[in-house]
A and B are shown apart, each in its own frame.
Chain A
Amino acid sequence: MASESISVTTSDDQTIQLSRKHAQMSQTINSMLEDSVGADQEAIPLPNVSSEVLKKVIDWCTHHENDPAPVEKVKKLNKKREYKAKNSTISDEWDKNFVNAELRVIVDILLAANYLDVKGLFELMCKHIANELKGKTPDQIRERFGIQDDLTEEDKAAMRKAWGATKNDS
């Protein structure tokens, strides 16, 4: 019978135990477990995730452990095949608290969620960063994310024209 807990080794050489249920919320770990059926249960190496970030991921998995599995929806687009943005509202109060962290931590969790392939957490982090961008001017965004402005005024004018916008870059 399979063990109820899994050992993983993080990038800072910490060995952390997590329940099989939480481990299986990560497609990456799940695949590793399937590949190692019958083999000696050694700690699974996670060289791209630190222990600090992994604990955050486990926190999120613990809160969402009873959520239904995400379903990949395939929708037919309309004839024009228009791009339509998704709804980025974060409705869960616990999630709102969870994402209330420094940008550096958010990015680390996002990268970890991507590496571990935890779909729900990945989407939550993306939504949060998208919400951070909403309603801000380009200057405010540059300041928030530490980005250098390397576009010329001609570039910006061309893009405004393409977007059909008249708003000036404040």
Chain B
Amino acid sequence: MCISTTNQEDVIMGDGNLDWMDIDKDALLHDGVYQPTPALPVEMWSYIFSWIPSVEDQLNVAIVCRNWSFICSLLTCSELNLRVRLNQDDIIIAFCRRFSGLRQLILTDCLYATGRIYRCLPPQLEQIVVRNCPAIGRTAFEMDLRHLPLFLQKISLSRFQHVGESMLRRLPSGLRDLNLANCPKMKCSFLQLLPSSLESLDLSGMMDNDTTPSSYDIFRHSNLKRLSLCGATLPPGFLVHLPTTLTALDLTDYNGAVGNSLHRLSHLQRLKMDRAGVPEELPENLLALSIRGCHLEVGEKFLGKSLHLEELYISGTVRDVRAWPKHLKHLYISHKTLSQYEVDCLPPTLTKLTLVYCEVDAVSLNPLLALEELRIHSNLLSQFPRLDENFVTFSRGWKHMYIDGPCHPLTLAQLTRRPDLTITHYP
């Protein structure tokens, strides 16, 4: 039988969450060692066991054999993470039909799972997340969402090829999180069909350019907190329609002018604008900003004035940083040649520094940094920071270090002198 989990003990104990990967149905039914007699599918045994009321009887059943112990653990499972390599989706449907207590279903790499599963979801399901299941949503026939669970709060219809108005009308009225990323492009009038309860919406790559600005008013009157418009085709001036309730916004690849239009989003805490234009001013309460691939010379006016910014993601296209945000805790830098000045003025609040393919050979890290974690991804030995004789002093507060790439033996020897430092090295 081919069942593997991240933690075998969890399966035996049944801790309420289950990560059941790589199910081979044929092996499950016919394996000589684990095959229960008489041979019934796992989901059917589980349904039978759900009629056993006493804990003593449940235990007696669980210790009959390894297979039954696993099945019993499913009874209390509220979260199921499936990765199924089957040529059909029957086993997923069978699971959904029999595990009525399931709250969260995550399907990953289920290559043959189809949209039929949406008709058979457990009535108590609150979240369904689908990752890399290319057959789901391929045909219009499967788009019947009438039977979606009443309490469903999160659904991913990412990459569905036949998203249409009739389907969107059938979404549960209490839905909070909807992912329509990379579905076929639609005019924004479809937004009116979405449940008003939505707090999180992913429209990455699916918005079609609508030249009527008022069409976007639906955004302004929504209660959205998280919105992703990565790669969406948006008209000029669109940003003024964003709701002020937003706390997280993804405008990756947005090609319009940003100007001051984001400043009014006073609740915005996370902003991702990779490969987009950079705003003149940042929202006042912003905590995390990603501007990788943005071309700008930021100087002191921009980042230095971001009073609350704690996380920053930049790349080599951000040049000549004269001042970092004062309260920065996590800094991610990729493909950038760091100047000695940029390193020297890193704020003392910094606890996590990630350097991906950065040129830092001529740089020593500031010994005053309060770093707890340093991650270095490098393909060249010369890009590794020079950790000289001062290393022992300035690495005192570090707890974790991740090195993905070559590391000089002497440097590694210095690192390993610290017994309280966790080092993960992928040479």
Which residues of A are interface residues toward B (Cβ below 8 A)? 72, 74, 76-77, 81, 83, 85-88, 103-104, 107, 110-111, 114, 126-127, 129-131, 133-138, 141-142, 145-151, 155-156, 158-160, 162-165, 167, 169
A126 to chain B, nearest CB (A): 5
Within the complex, which residue of B40, B49, B59, B66 is in contact with A130, where a contact is CB–CB below 8 Å?
Answer: B49
Interface pair B123/A133, CB less than 8 Å apart: no
A126 closest partner in B (C-beta): B48
Inter-chain contact A81/B101, CB cutoff 8 Å: yes
A74-B124, A74-B150, A155-B66 known; A133 vs B37 contact (CB < 8 Å) = no
Q: Give the segment of B7-15, B238-246, B290-298, B388-396 that binds chain A.
A: B7-15
Are A160 and B63 in contact, with the CB atoms below 8 A? yes
Bound: A127/B50 CA distance, A: 9
B75 contacts partner chain A, Cβ-Cβ < 8 Å:
yes
Known contacts A107-B40, A134-B52, A145-B37, A160 near B59 by CB under 8 Å: yes
| Contact assessment for A86 and B37 in the assembled complex, using a CB-CB cutoff below 8 Å | no
In the assembled complex, the Cα of A137 lies from the Cα of B36 at a distance in Å of 17
B residues touching A (Cβ–Cβ < 8 Å)?
9, 12-14, 33-34, 36-38, 40, 44, 47-66, 68-69, 75-76, 78, 101, 103, 123-124, 150-151
Known contacts A81-B101, A165-B56; A141/B61 CB under 8 A? yes
Say whether A85 contacts B44, CB under 8 Å: no
Known: A141-B60, A162-B13. 4 other contacts (CB 8 A): A130-B50, A133-B49, A134-B52, A149-B64
In the complex, what distance in Å separates the CA atom of A72 from the CA atom of B49?
Answer: 19
The answer on a CB contact under 8 Å between B51 and A88 is yes
Report how far A131 CA is from B59 CA in the complex, Å.
15
Interface residue from B12, B40, B52 paired with A133 (Cβ < 8 Å): B52
* CB atoms of B52 and A114 under 8 A apart: no
| Most chain B CB inside 10 Å of its own CB: which residue of A72, A131, A164, A165 | A165
Contacts of A131 in B (CB 8 A): 51
Q: A85 near B101 (CB under 8 angstroms)?
A: no
A70 to B68, CA, bound (A): 29
